[in-house]
Amino acid sequence: MKPVSLIQFLIEERRAGHINTELSLLIEVVARACKRIAVATGKGALGGVLGAAGTDNVQGEAQKKLDVISNEILLEANAWGGHLAACASEEMEDPQPIPDMYPKGQHLLLFDPLDGSSNIDVNISVGTIFSVLRCPDDVTEPKVEHFLQPGTTQLAAGYVVYGPSTLLVLTFGHGTHEFTLDREIGSFILSRRDIRIPEQTGEFAINMSNQRHWEAPMQRYIGELLAGKDGPRGRDFNMRWVASMVADVHRIVTRGGVFFYPLDAKIRDKGGKLRLMYEANPMAFIVEQAGGAASTGRERIMELQPVGLHQRVPVFLGSKQEVELAAHYHREADGAQG
Ligand code: AHG
């Protein structure tokens, strides 16, 4: 079969009525920016891009040089095309308006420019995550409140993994598709159409070092997996944890599995570890479109009404049966308490 480039795929999606020209341009621009981020991350020590930037982001986390570089690449690429009303990023407290000298579009773009950046210095996969919303019709200068739309309203979501290959995984709400960067020709080429995550799995991802801080239902669920074939589940489970959400989710999108970043006593006041608007929502959209599930343990992630641009939430996502069982234990525990 003839290779299908991202551009060809976007034209097909436009003809199918799934996206308009402006959204197609937006995805092209984001993909082009991510190619530049792939080049920057690939240079490593030779590009002088490793290590700390010496600054903190809005959440008080130390920024890596590549966090700052990736954020700038995405902002600069998206400023002038006329497809955006505004951008918001993990690395910036407030949304970034489109400069007055450029035309404005109808879309809002949110991104985590370099997820898993603690892994950069040890040469482990990192990624970019993005979510696209529609700017309300009557709004010309979008503010935080205009970004606070539930995940169900997302028009598009995607991530790019900078690993042994650079991969883009994308959804417009009509399936989840994967593109691999052909480094020789510089184009993303469709490598998997309509990805399906198996409903059952024998593999889970969680940071086990937080175990003692988890809530009782999480302790119960993981305890049963760890008990293996001698426990109530009657089979053995395997564990993986990359500590780059993009890489962990990509494994699930490729061979199934389930990912958890639950609430725990250390992060209870913050509401969770991962950010709703540019981590949990886009990943939930991608995973659901591939037949998986995404929950906070209490609610479907994409139905949450956001209350803050940098809001954090617990995240359970991946193979449907495991997400549902872990969420069932949480609801059962809440019912017993209430
Ligand atoms: P960051 O973007 O600040 O590097 O955060 C990484 C996130 C996510 O990618 C990963 O799943 C999780 O944090 C790792 O958390 P631990 O450090 O607890 O392993």
Q: How many angstroms separate the alpha carbon of residue 315 from the centre of ligand 1?
A: 12
Q: What is the pLDDT of residues 151-161, one digit of tens each?
A: 999 999 999 99
* pLDDT tens digits along 255-268: 999 999 999 999 99
> DSSP code of 44?
G
> What pLDDT, on the 0 to 100 scale, is given for residue 214?
97
Report domain extents, the chain: 6-192, 203-337
pLDDT of 53 strictly over 80? no
Averaged over 309-314, what is the pLDDT? Answer: 97
Which of 258, 273, 283, 310 most suits a substitution to test ligand 1, by most atoms within 8 Å of the C-beta?
273
What does the alpha-carbon distance between residue 35 and residue 186 come to, in Å, rounded to a whole number?
Answer: 8
pLDDT at 118 over 70: yes
Provide the whole-model pTM.
0.96
Gap from CA of 116 to ligand 1 centroid (Å)? 5
Q: Ligand 1 mean position to 225 CA, how many Å? A: 23
For the cut 80, the answer to whether the pLDDT of residue 276 exceeds it is yes
- pLDDT tops 80 at residue 54: no
pLDDT of residue 63: 78
Site to probe by mutation for ligand 1, drawn from 122, 207, 279, 310 as the one with most ligand atoms within 8 Å of Cβ, is 207
What's the mean pLDDT in 89-111?
Answer: 93
Ligand 1 touching residue 295 (CB < 6 A): no
**Considering the chain, what is the average pLDDT of its residues?**
94
- Cβ 103 vs Cβ 82: under 8 Å: yes
Q: What per-residue confidence (pLDDT) applies to 338?
A: 59
pLDDT for 318: 98
Q: For the domain 6-192, what is the CATH superfamily, name and number?
A: Fructose-1,6-Bisphosphatase, subunit A, domain 1 (3.30.540.10)
- 244 CB near ligand 1 (under 6 Å): yes
Nearest CA to ligand 1 atom 14: 243
**How does pLDDT run across 174-206, given as a tens digit for each residue?**
999 999 999 999 999 999 999 999 988 999 999
Q: Indicate whether residue 117 lines ligand 1 (CB < 6 A).
A: yes
C-beta 125 within 6 A of ligand 1: no
Q: 141 vs 150, which has greater pLDDT?
A: 150
Per residue in 123-134, pLDDT (tens digit) is 999 999 999 999
How confident is the model over 51-68, as a mean pLDDT? 79
Q: Residue of the nearest CA to atom 15 in ligand 1?
A: 243
Distance in Å, CA 117 to ligand 1 centroid: 8
Ligand 1 and 243: CB distance under 6 A: yes
Kind of pairing between the strands at 107-115 and 84-89: parallel
DSSP string, 47-82: GT--SEEEEE-TTSPEEEHHHHHHHHHHHHHHHSSS
Ligand 1 contact via 115 beta carbon (within 6 Å): yes
In the chain, beta strands by DSSP E: 52-56, 62-64, 84-89, 96-97, 107-115, 126-134, 156-162, 166-171, 176-182, 187-192, 203-205, 238-239, 258-261, 274-275, 293-295, 312-313, 315-318
Say what the pLDDT of residue 1 is: 77
**222 C-alpha to ligand 1 centroid (Å):** 20
With a 6 A CB cut-off, is 61 part of the ligand 1 pocket?
yes
Nearest atom within ligand 1 for CA of residue 127:
9
Choosing among 3.40.190.80, 3.40.1410.10, 2.60.40.10, 2.30.40.10, the CATH entry for 203-337 is 3.40.190.80
